Amino acid sequence: MINSLEATRFIAAHVTDEPIVASLGNAKYNLFLSGDRPQNFYLWNAMGLAISVGLGVAMARPQQKVIVLDGDGALLMNLNALATTAVRSPKNLIHVVWDNRQHELTGGQPTATAFRTNLAEVARGAGIEHCESVETQDAFEQAFLQAFHQPGPWFISALTNSTRSPGRPPKSPTYLKHRFRESMGVAPE
């Protein structure tokens, strides 16, 4: 089983100015703990929409790798977005899902992946070209490096522990928006 904070730290150690979109919950808490930077866009709500935001970024910035950090519960709420992502199949998109098989923040209620659902198979069926399912840190690192250096789209489902992350990113949505846009070289309206 993978420690999601350790795996997030591996990602943070490899990016330079690549944008990272993080879902609500432990995905964004761990990203913050791994190193806050303006190129991190944290969703404080809008459960499930991290991959949709990432798709928009990837469409509008085709020359740059775009990383989405998601959770199993969040993605299960917006599974249709995998099919929409496959319609466009952005070569620069890396979608990582930390699958702890539960809604950890609300008390550990099981998600569908605790029963029969396999998210990498769902993504493959939706039409995402490169889908990996990993259960160890080594396998995760190998899959991420491949995704980072080769054309995608990539979908990596990582079986993780369910430790509550103490990370708390800045809360102001407009601050997060403005600093992200500025880091992407975008002038204010």
Partner 1 sequence: MTAWPQRIIEQLKAYNVRFLSYVPDACGEHILRAAREDAFFDILPLAREEEGVGVVTGQYLVGERGAILMPTSGVGNSINAFASLAIPYHIPMPVFIGWRGALGEFNATQVPMGQALVPILESLNIPHFILSRPEEVEVRVNGALKLAFALEQPVAVLISTELAGWKEK
60 versus 145: smaller Cβ distance to partner 1 = 60
CB of residue 61 vs partner 1: minimum separation in angstroms? 5
Distances in Å between the Cα of 183 and the Cα atoms of 16, 24, 171, 188 are: 12, 21, 18, 11
**For residue 51, which of 99, 11, 111, 93 has the smallest C-alpha distance?**
93
CB of residue 27 vs partner 1: minimum separation in angstroms? 15
CB of residue 14 vs partner 1: minimum separation in angstroms? 20
25 versus 48: smaller Cβ distance to partner 1 = 48
53 versus 123: smaller Cβ distance to partner 1 = 53
139 versus 184: smaller Cβ distance to partner 1 = 184
Token look-up 């404080």 returns 44
Residues interacting with partner 1, by CB under 8 A?
19, 21, 41, 43-46, 48-61, 78, 80-81, 83-84, 87-88, 173-174, 176-177, 180-181, 184-187, 189
What SS3 class is residue 66? strand
CB of residue 135 vs partner 1: minimum separation in angstroms? 29
Distances in Å between the Cα of 128 and the Cα atoms of 66, 87, 97, 185 are: 15, 9, 14, 30
Asked whether the CA dihedral 141, 143, 146, 152 is positive or negative, the reply is: negative
Token look-up 């769902």 returns 122
Name 42's Cβ contacts closer than 8 Å, sequence gap at least 6. Answer: 22, 28, 31, 32, 169, 170, 176
49 versus 119: smaller Cβ distance to partner 1 = 49
Distances in Å between the Cα of 30 and the Cα atoms of 25, 118, 162 are: 9, 23, 12
8 versus 40: smaller Cβ distance to partner 1 = 40
CB of residue 138 vs partner 1: minimum separation in angstroms? 31
CB of residue 82 vs partner 1: minimum separation in angstroms? 9
